[in-house]
């Protein structure tokens, strides 16, 4: 069975090339030091992705130009191709068709240790953290959700391992849509989703401060979000820094295009200066916005 999984845009190319670069540098640096190097893809997709581009025809091609359909590697395939190899890979996916495609991918690599879990990412990651000892392992988790699926308690579990680096495509647009300008406009379901994402309702007073001075009519002014999207990104970075050993300055995606939709974070759970130093050396270079300018200018 071959299944089409069409998603993303400019940010997808950049995100996957960054994760690819990180995984390759990571295993090269750590392969000889750790017996267990794990890759965990919590929103694994199908292993591939379908990209439709307008075919560039010559003069003879009548418009509309036909579409060219291309199959490119998704994150699971990218991780499988990394050398030296990871010795264990876990692909989590809650869509049965996507999970079936991942099983097919795993069947092509029977010599590798691959587990496909048809499960919810949050449940699978928490179970993984609890079921394993982490002092003899190092791992990379990739969190690549469509929206605001990642729960704070999952991030806390990952941070508690002190052994896992987390690449997190944070849905900034999802956040600023849920966190409406006026507090009164946030309904119960948005409120619940923000609380799940941040682990408590403290976002309410942090993002919507209560004015200390009443206005000229003696009323307290209505509570409004003071932060713009970049401010929200800094807020998320500060929150992640409270639980992880170190968090690198994220890359705003798409690059050089408004509105910003995502922030690509690298969060390091290990607290040792050596581990943080290594992740910073590799990650800061990959997250440098200047590196991605050429890519962005050639994309539609």
* Distance of closest approach, residue 197 Cβ to ligand SAM, in angstroms: 13
> Helices 152-160 and 229-243 sit at what angle, rounded to 10 degrees?
40
CB closer to ligand SAM, 92 vs 266: 92
* 93 lies in the binding site for ligand SAM (CB under 6 A): yes
Q: Provide the minimum distance between the beta carbon of 259 and ligand SAM in the complex, in angstroms, as a whole number.
A: 19
Residue 98 interacts with ligand SAM (CB under 6 A)? yes
45 or 245: whose CB is closer to ligand SAM? 45
Size of the site for ligand SAM (CB under 6 A): 19
Instruction: Verify binding: residue 85, ligand SAM, rule CB under 6 A.
Output: no
Distance of CA 283 to the CA centre of its chain: 14
Sign for the pseudo-dihedral over CA of 42, 139, 247, 270: positive
- Residue 104 interacts with ligand SAM (CB under 6 A): yes or no: no
Q: Considering only residues 11, 18, 39, 45, which one is a binding residue for ligand SAM as defined by CB under 6 A?
A: 45
Q: Whole-angstrom Cα distance, residue 251 to residue 296?
A: 13
Rounded CA gap, 163 and 178, in Å? 32
Secondary structure element (H or E) that encloses residue 92, with its range:
strand 88-93
CB closer to ligand SAM out of 44 and 89: 44
Our CB check for ligand SAM shows the closer of 121 and 194 to be: 121
DSSP label of 151 = -
Of 121, 129, 158, 164, the one binding ligand SAM by CB under 6 A: 121
* Terminal C-alpha separation, the chain: 31
- Beta carbons within 8 Å of 26's beta carbon, 6+ residues apart: 37, 140, 165, 282
Scan for tokens 């619940």, then name that residue.
Answer: 192
Query: Smallest distance from the beta carbon of 96 to ligand SAM, in angstroms?
Result: 9
Contact map string, positions 14 to 43, toward ligand SAM, x by CB under 6 A? --x--------------------------x
Instruction: Give the β-pairing of 114-118 and 262-268.
Output: unpaired
CA 58/CA 64 separation, integer angstroms: 12
> Contact with ligand SAM (CB under 6 A): which of 17, 50, 95, 156?
95
Contact indicator for 206, 247 with CB cutoff of 8 Å: no
For the CB of residue 131, give the shortest distance to ligand SAM in the complex, in Å: 18
Please report, as ranges, the residues that interact with ligand SAM according to CB under 6 A.
Answer: 7, 16, 43-45, 49, 74-75, 92-95, 98, 120-121, 144-146, 149
């Amino acid at each position: 069975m071959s299944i089409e999984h069409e998603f993303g845009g400019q940010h997808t190319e950049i995100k996957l090339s960054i994760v690819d670069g990180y995984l390759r540098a990571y295993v090269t640096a750590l392969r000889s030091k750790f017996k267990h190097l794990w890759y965990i893809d919590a929103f694994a997709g199908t292993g591939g992705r379908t990209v439709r581009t307008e075919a560039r025809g010559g003069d003879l091609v009548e418009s509309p130009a036909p579409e060219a359909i291309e199959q490119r590697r998704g994150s699971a395939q990218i991780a499988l191709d990394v050398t030296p190899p990871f010795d264990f890979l876990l692909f989590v996916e809650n869509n049965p068709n996507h999970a079936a495609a991942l099983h097919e991918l795993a069947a092509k690599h029977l010599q590798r240790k691959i587990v496909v879990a048809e499960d919810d990412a949050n449940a699978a990651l928490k179970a993984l953290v609890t079921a394993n000892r982490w002092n003899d392992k190092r791992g990379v988790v990739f969190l690549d959700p469509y929206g605001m699926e990642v729960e704070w308690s999952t991030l806390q579990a990952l941070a508690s391992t002190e052994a896992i680096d987390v690449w997190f495509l944070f849905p900034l647009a999802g956040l600023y849509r849920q966190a409406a300008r006026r507090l009164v406009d946030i309904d119960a379901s948005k409120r619940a989703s923000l609380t799940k994402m941040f682990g408590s309702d403290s976002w309410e007073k942090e993002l919507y401060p209560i004015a200390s001075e009443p206005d000229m009519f003696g009323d307290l002014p209505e509570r409004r979000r003071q932060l713009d999207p970049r401010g929200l990104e800094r807020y998320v970075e500060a929150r992640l820094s409270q639980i992880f050993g170190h968090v690198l300055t994220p890359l705003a995606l798409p690059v050089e295009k408004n509105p910003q939709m995502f922030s690509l974070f690298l969060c390091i759970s290990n607290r040792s200066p050596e581990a943080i130093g290594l992740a910073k050396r590799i990650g800061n270079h990959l997250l440098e916005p200047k590196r991605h300018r050429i890519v962005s200018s050639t994309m539609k």
